[in-house]
């Protein structure tokens, strides 16, 4: 009696290539809010006055004001 032996055939063509390295985007500017102390990232609305931005939001800016 002959026993038919089936051997698994591995094809390299089907190998799933996964790139571990992600294309890193440009690091966005980050500042720390002087009111709440939390870090916040650059936003489109600050593109013209980013250097003067100190608060993460208008809310924090108003909190800073006395009254």
Residues forming the site for Zn ion (CB under 5 A): 33, 35-36, 56, 60
Closest C-alpha to 57, from 29, 27, 66, 46? 46
Q: Which is nearer to Zn ion, 14 or 53 (CB)?
A: 53
Q: Rounded to whole angstroms, how far apart are CA atoms 34 and 6?
A: 70
Residue corresponding to tokens 């690091």: 27
Q: Which is nearer to Zn ion, 53 or 60 (CB)?
A: 60
**Shortest distance (Å) from residue 39 CB to Zn ion:** 9
Q: Which is nearer to Zn ion, 36 or 53 (CB)?
A: 36
């Amino acid at each position: 009696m002959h026993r038919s032996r089936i051997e698994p055939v591995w094809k390299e063509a089907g190998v799933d290539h996964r790139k571990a390295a992600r294309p890193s985007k440009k690091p966005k500017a980050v500042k720390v809010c002087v009111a709440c102390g939390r870090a916040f990232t650059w936003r489109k609305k600050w593109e013209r006055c980013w250097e003067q931005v100190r608060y993460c939001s208008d809310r924090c800016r108003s909190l800073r004001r006395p009254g």
